[in-house]
Amino acid sequence: MVLKEGVPAPDFEAETHRGDKIRLSGLKGRIVVLYFYPRAMTPGCTREARRFEELYEEFERLGAVIIGVSTDSVERLRRFAEKEGLNHVILASDPQGEIAAKYGVLRKGKKRVSAERVTFVIDEEGVIRKVLRNIRPAEKHADLALEAVKALASPG
């Protein structure tokens, strides 16, 4: 079951496309946009990642970090980032689907596990404040996530 708004975001550590590790608890004090996607280098996932990249400066201005998680290998994520010019979005590898399972977005296919396309907007205290799913087209996740971040970043 996909995690709901108002619950603490489960902590995780993952290797990124840059070869370093990222830990959610290490980002406390910042808004985190955590988006899960099925597979790098597919049309929908490419459009989604590009849109997050296009909006990066707005997210950054609001103090938000963008992390995309898929079950792809670090090497595939590195190639994806290079091919698509993803210079700011952090791509995290979840090859066993452990992170996706914690968030309730793991999909088990006949040939591979993947993640459902779901975006979580997590506040500075580590609480999920917005869940975006079943949104079409895929790139709308970035725009809707930005709206949620703006709402969190503005007082009152």
CA distance 131 to 133: 7
Q: Which of 42, 7, 1, 3 is nearest to 123 (CA)?
A: 7
Is the separation of the CB atoms in 21 and 15 below 8 Å?
Answer: yes
Active-site annotation holds for 45: yes
Taking phi first (over 0 means left), then psi (-120 to 50 degrees means alpha), and beta for anything else, what does residue 62 get?
Answer: alpha
6: helix, strand or coil:
coil
Tokens of 124: 């500075």
Which residue is it, tokens 């849109």?
51
Distance CA 111, CA 125 (A): 37
The Cα–Cα gap between 65 and 89 comes to: 8
Catalytic choice (32, 45, 118, 121): 45
Catalytic residue numbers read: 45
